[in-house]
Amino acid sequence: MKRSAAWCLAAAFVLGMTLGVSGKSDEKDMDIEKDIVRLLVKSGAVSYAQKKPYGAGIVSMTIGYDEDSKPVIAVAVRETKTYKRAMVIVAVTRDKDGYKITAAEIPDVGTFHGKSQSLARDALKDITGKVFKNKKEALGLADAVTGATKYYRAIYVSYALMASRAIEEMSASPDWPRRPMQP
């Protein structure tokens, strides 16, 4: 059976698009992994455990451990639709008063346009540094924004979910396979 030239061109186009999209996704995944490693190193973690996919809409959950195998940081990554579809990252560490959001990031926030970018940056600045006694308090983060746009609220909802799950995993110290941090 002969295939038409049009069919062959269409198949090549679809294959090229699939590979092109796949390459972009792989590139973004590598950037997210670099962000996770940066946050683990900054916290002083000497080993880590990661679960991908994690569940509850969270793409990955990474727990960093100190020399005594105690959790020092949890990093959660989730895709959410804020002003546009974006990956969001939260890092939670132990604090004398409970658990602290030490980083709230949207790696490609620079691609947001105009006021959307400044509103997203303001939300991230507001979220970073928040301290919670437990996961229930972290879930209340979204309740703190009244009268916000649905996209602004989406940022808070995503971070509330991720922070509460990060606190839950740090408290539970899951038995996931651990790997040493590479020098």
Asked if residues 101 and 90 have their Cβ atoms less than 8 Å apart, the reply is yes
In a 3-state reduction of DSSP, which class is residue 126? helix
> Domain for residue 44, yes or no?
yes
| Bridging pattern class, strands 131-132 and 178-180 | unpaired
> Domain for residue 87, yes or no?
yes
> Domain for residue 1, yes or no?
no
Looking at residue 144, its pLDDT comes to 61
Domain limits at 52? 6-180
- Say which range, 7-11, 30-34, 99-103, 121-125, has the weakest mean pLDDT: 7-11
- Say which range, 80-89, 101-110, 125-134, 172-181, has the weakest mean pLDDT: 80-89
23, pLDDT greater than 50? no
The residue with tokens 């090549």 is 12
Looking at residue 167, its pLDDT comes to 96
Does the CA dihedral 161-164-167-173 come out positive or negative?
A: negative
Q: What is the number of structural domains in the chain? A: 1
Looking at residue 156, its pLDDT comes to 84
**Which pLDDT band, with edges at 50, 70 and 90, does 153 fall under?**
confident
Residue-wise pLDDT tens digits, 67-93:
999 999 999 999 987 777 889 999 999
Show Cβ contacts of residue 96 under 8 Å, excluding neighbours closer than 6 positions: none
Looking at residue 1, its pLDDT comes to 41
> Domain for residue 134, yes or no?
yes
> Domain for residue 140, yes or no?
yes
